[in-house]
Structure 1
């Protein structure tokens, strides 16, 4: 027997699920002889790539991890005291293993289907409660992207709420972190907001101002008493935003108690690794009167159909997909997974544990400050929490050199050195620091005496006296066993990719391979500060350079910016690059964005944020862009045309054959083509935005390139651009990444959420060009197979000229309304079959948008199709009268175990029909933990923090 000694495991066979037998069966069902024949019928020849993707050969999982380990060692893990919003931290092992590394948490989707998301909704409610308690505010959202963008959202919310519509000045304290000021500049520019940057104690703030923003503690570490400043602003009807260090609020008077209207910040130091910039969950807290203007998602308490305690995302009428260009924010993703971790960190430590951490951090800072003062150093700070600034003068260079020799990073500016301590700092650490500063003054190592008896530097009027985290959730899970059980109890309430496919159109819920995830928790990636010197982060640079080359090859563009840390932020960044391009050419008047009626809701919201005026382009009955209407509007606005925003394949799941002509029309009139990359999973290896004629495209790495959705974030939205736009890609105020004419930053960290870029790097490296192309082909095959099975039961709304869909399709459920069945009823009934609903009522109301992805095998596709076909038979029974129009399994769905096992059962269908409608359901039953949630009840009585424990009973 001959043996193959050169066998190498091929990762694409692990990622692409259908085997050869399943593939043959699906091709037969679709009615083609090969996948290539199907692709020829689906993707227009005019846009097909002529050459294969020029990417390195695919690596095995073992080889990739081995090579990446060597790459990671190029990063130097120095002890970081840089601060500036990023701090080393300790992720409790029980949270690391059971949340961060657990696909039961990181593969969940945004909790739009609340009944099968009660675990993460509770975890996010805990996060909101923690933020409300620590800030002293009345309401908080369930996280934002990072501290800088949260501050920008606060500025814009205040701008939108201003009563004096002529007021356009915004005071910005000069002591705010520089990266935040950078983002404020970016956001302010399109709206003509004038930033007045200065000293809050001396700058005259009055007429023409609508808001102000300060940092607490300030960027230099000083804890200022802003009481009088806040009163002065309020006397003039000027609103105040405070950027607050959440850990410091354990010791400091919370901003809500001295006049803040909005409090924002990051929860990074609540157990989240620095990760060279992210991902980290920002927070946003404000007064209840602004609840309909607060950006992002809010989790609220309501009741279910059985009048039991339940949770859901509240006030969804605020979201950009509904308000479109009238939205006050374009936010689509948050940082749910990181917010969940931060909330668990708060629960695990509780108020006493957090107080101990804050006390130790502050106490060590005081000890270091007193020690340095005793040496003769001028410590600038009078009151501080964890950061001190020292006038080092001529000794700065010697201190710097000695720190580098001992693998320590401090923050250096002019003749000052600042030091920020954190949870990981020990007494031995400050002893080493003291010896370095002593050496610079000629003090022998053994003569350095660290002060050990210390008192707080915070004056009585700035010390916190109010209680916080009093809810039992924060006082019941301090042993690891209790925490483990609590985490698992919540996880059990949530459906994730661990249970079944999640066929969400436009959201591409595919395999997040374990090998892709493992490196994210390696210390040589996690413990790196985003402002660490370049020679300490060569491993990260290696990954960035690879991704720049690989993603440019995949998209057909000249270069990428990896900075945007969400898809909608990528949209915004791309539009701002287009805006800068026009303005640099003197075309300041070009501000019209043409947007198809079918576009994602983030498109018009992003365009409005970039200062553009939206003109809607009609769609034809077949869902395609009306080219005649596009031509007419391009001609009408020829002199003012800035760009077209287009999704490809279309939001309707079709490769429109006129796309090249569409791009040419825009270019003829001096505009740029912005392509929304939400549907890139149908392009990779077959065509590309650059090949089609686009100028900019953002990539949802949390869709096509395998970064998990994490219950609603993290995500990444890097942008690729054609050569003429490269000089305008985003820069950064702290790390020099300027391209020549760069716009200011769109994210707080120079490369966004750097640590999760590793996931996409792994995916591309292990798939190779052939694997990526095959993934696209199988995504299209799987979708068309499902179409072939479902189209005799549900009308498929749109198809290409040869009857094919792209990687997704829209099932029309509007006709069922004639006998009382809504698309929502189908979505809820799918839960009884163990499935998450496809995308509901987008882009067409009353429809389901289905996307299977390439990583689902045929038998899973069949399970899902069987469920939808079975539901259709139930609908037929309602239509013909076999099932009651009111009391039927769809209207009462989902059915909980409590309902099914109740002593009373007065429905006109059986318990078996309700809970086990198909044989396979009983083999792997997932029980929704609550009945259908009552959204209107919760919105009428908005509760966005953990209610008293009696409410759970």
Structure 2
């Protein structure tokens, strides 16, 4: 065996050596040096001054600054060093095997799509441009809406919502508007959901004004059909449900749920945040749903971007199309234009027509794959998930509650309860220790119905080698929990931040939302 073989064998037998950079990096305002510049803005040319006159003269005095904004003054190279140092103290989909961010569907975002979105013609778009100057982008929106119709089986789409939760809010607002149009809004004041559906389903229903009835699982972890049938009544406005739920379990009796709600005059709303295992395989329309939504920043491979920008695609049947939020793209005589929603529209859910750069990325991703490619995405995601479940369940102390002996779709909510009982090491502590190996995972939405949960979702983006690396980390930490539990309990050890001081989050007197607020609070304490 030669030296290279020895290195390869060693790497297969050992955990990845990982130690994150730790910089004592100040806030950028603290790095400011008076008079230092990153760029010298040229003086305005005399002809432009004469033509423009005094543009500020027409503004009310109350809108004029009394002093220049207190922006950091720094050279280009110091700005670059600052942000690169911060980036070294981070984890993310481009740095690590990110399969542990369950329910978030963290997948690879093709960099060529980022380049498309950064082209000057895209990056410099303004939402108030006349339609005649944005025909290409309007065509992309129109064609992407067509893709969403095809994938969902629905008749009409709005891409205006800025994310999944806002799309759910739009759907529930459309439910309310539908019942108002039929004179039944006062009667229908209840929405039914399930405990393992996304929490935004219940939250948005409540925000729209509905009472929420939550269905719990039966003994095998499936939504309880008998409980649903007992809950439906003439007061039922809608069923809003995620399928597969956040446990990864697909409710194969979903049509019976839909039929039971339709039988009492309610609508059915499909939260398709977990659709990554269903593209080209199952559609909301065939299950009988009236509305659904997709998260482009999850299922269609656009950046999560710390919660924004994003796009939630609201899809519905023709009967509900008049209630869609606007503006909407329409074609007339070969030209595209933005039009307001129909007379019964719920109106704008957010400003303007949506996040153009995200829609372009999603459209490019879909077109690069085609119909068969989208189906392959789901097949690989399901394969990856079930391979990972098969391997993780070999670890002593890990379980997958519910649906015994059954496959899952694209994620699993696992439980470390047995390991915790044996060692005292919790799921949260395992997640913190995982950061020492350059990976991490998410535990669960509240309430913690699954004890000591870990929600893991490998998408189609990860290879078997990636999955094996993550599985190896979990196996290694489970072994540490039994041999040296204190090592796990005091983790992370290789990261710049060890533990967040959670008590600070409950004390508004210690919050500094902005730099100015932080400085003011320091001054109040005589520390400035």
* Interval containing the TM-score (normalised by the shorter chain): 0.7 to 0.9
Quick check: 603-612 or 616-625, which moved more? 616-625
2:305 is aligned with 1:702: no
Residue correspondences, number: 484
State the Cα distance separating 1:554 from its structure 2 match.
Answer: 0.5
Whether the 8 Å CA contact 1:582–1:642 is kept in 2: the answer is yes
Are residues 761 and 673 of structure 1, via their aligned partners in 2, closer, same or farther at CA, if it must alter by over 3 Å?
Answer: same
1:488 paired with 2:113, answer no
Q: Which residue of 2 aligns with 1:765?
A: 367
The change in CA–CA distance for 1:626 and 1:117 in structure 2 (over 3 A counts) is farther
Shift in Å, 1:691: 1.4
Is the contact between residue 118 and residue 494 of structure 1 (CA under 8 Å) also seen in structure 2? no
Residues 538, 350 of structure 1: alpha-carbon distance in 2 compared, 3 angstrom cutoff:
farther
1:706 is displaced (CA, Å) by 0.7
1:797 CA displacement: 2.5
Q: 1:429 to 1:797 in 2, by over 3 A?
A: farther
Aligned to 2:432, which of 796, 809, 828?
828
Q: Distance in 1 between the 2:102 and 2:282 partners? A: 20
- 1:633 Cα shift? 0.6
Q: 2:189 aligns with which of 591, 602, 613?
A: 591
| Distance in 1 between residues matched to 2:37 and 2:57, nearest whole Å | 18
Q: 1:741 to 1:463 in 2, by over 3 A?
A: closer
C-alpha contact 2:246 2:412 (8 A) present in aligned 1: no
1:744 equivalent to 2:347? Answer: yes
Structure 2 residue corresponding to 1:810, chosen from 413, 426, 444: 413
Report the alpha carbon displacement of residue 519 of structure 1 after superposing the two structures with TM: 1.2
For residues 702 and 714 of structure 1, the distance between their equivalents in structure 2, rounded to whole angstroms, comes to 9
TM-score by length of 2: 0.83
Q: Is 1:681 aligned to 2:276, yes or no?
A: yes
**1:773-826 Cα distance to aligned partner (Å, 9 max, x none):** 000000000000011111121443346575211111121022333332111100
CA shift in 2, pair 1:427/1:512, >3 Å: farther
Matches of residues 325-404 of structure 1 in structure 2 within 5 Å? Answer: none
Q: CA deviation at 1:586?
A: 1.6
Of residues 94, 102, 106, the one that matches 1:509 is 106
Give the aligned partner of residue 315 of structure 2.
Answer: 720
Q: Determine whether 1:521 maps to 2:115.
A: no
Cα gap change, 1:836 to 1:455, in 2 (>3 Å) = closer
Identify the range of structure 1 (602-611 vs 455-464) with the bigger mean alpha-carbon deviation: 455-464
Correspondence 1:629 to 2:227: yes
C-alpha distance in 1 between matches for 2:22 and 2:143: 39
Structure 2 counterpart of 1:665: 260
- Cα-to-partner distance string for 1:322-368 (whole Å, 9 max, x where unaligned): xxxxxxxxxxxxxxxxxxxxxxxxx99999989x99xx9xxxxxxxx
Within the candidate set 399, 418, 441, 1:796 is matched to: 399
Contact 1:656 1:800 in 2 (8 A): no
Counterpart-to-counterpart distance in 2, 1:653 and 1:691? 20
Partners of 1:768 and 1:936 lie apart in 2 by 50
Match of 1:302 in 2: none
Q: 2:60, 2:445 → 1: CA distance?
A: 56
- What's the offset of the Cα at 1:857? 0.5
1:193-231 per-position Cα deviation (integer Å, ceiling 9, x unaligned): xxxxxxxxxxxxxxxxxxxxxxxxxxxxxxxxxxxxxxx
Distance in 2 of aligned mates of 1:746 and 1:457? 32
> Distance in 2 between the 1:837 and 1:703 partners?
17
Cross-structure match for 2:441: 837
Change (3 A) 1:862 1:588: same
Deviation of the 1:929 alpha carbon: 1.1
Tell me: CA distance 1:455–1:723, structure 2 relative to 1, closer, same or farther (3 Å): closer
Secondary structure, aligned partner of 1:720: strand
Instruction: Note the C-alpha offset of 1:605.
Output: 1.4
2:137 to 540, 543, 550: 540
Q: Flag the structure with larger Rg.
A: 1
RMSD: 3.4
Unaligned runs of 5+ in 1: 1-114, 131-346, 361-424, 435-449, 878-882, 897-927
Partner of 2:156: 559
1:833, CA displacement in angstroms? 1.2
Question: In 2, distance between residues paired with 1:753 and 1:823?
Answer: 36
Whether the 8 Å CA contact 1:554–1:684 is kept in 2: the answer is yes
User: Which of these residues, 605, 610, 613, is aligned with residue 208 of structure 2?
Assistant: 610
Structure 2 counterparts to residues 178-189 of structure 1, below 5 A: none
Cα contact 2:109–2:302 (8 A) shared by 1? yes
Closer, same or farther: CA 481–784 of 1 in aligned 2, 3 Å: same
State how far apart, in whole Å, the 2-side matches of 1:498 and 1:564 are: 26
**Residues 934 and 581 from structure 1, CA distance in 2 versus in 1: closer, same or farther, beyond 3 angstroms?**
same
- Cα distance change, pair 534–932 in 1 and its aligned pair in 2 (3 A): same
- How has the CA–CA distance of structure 1 residues 353 and 789 changed in structure 2, closer, same or farther, with 3 Å as cutoff? same
Instruction: State the secondary structure of the residue aligned to 1:810.
Output: strand
The 8 Å contact of residues 779 and 807 in structure 1, kept in 2 or not, is answered as yes
Cα distance in structure 1, aligned partners of 2:438 and 2:462: 16
Judged with a 3 Å threshold, the aligned counterparts in structure 2 of structure 1 residues 845 and 937 are, in CA distance, closer, same or farther, namely farther
Shift of 1:741: 2.3
2:384, 2:458 within 8 Å by CA — same for their partners in 1?
yes
1:464 and 1:711 mapped to 2: Cα distance?
A: 31
Give the unaligned 5+ runs of structure 2. 1-18, 329-336
Structure 1 residues 614, 465: closer, same or farther in 2, change over 3 A?
same
Corresponding residue of 1:929: 496
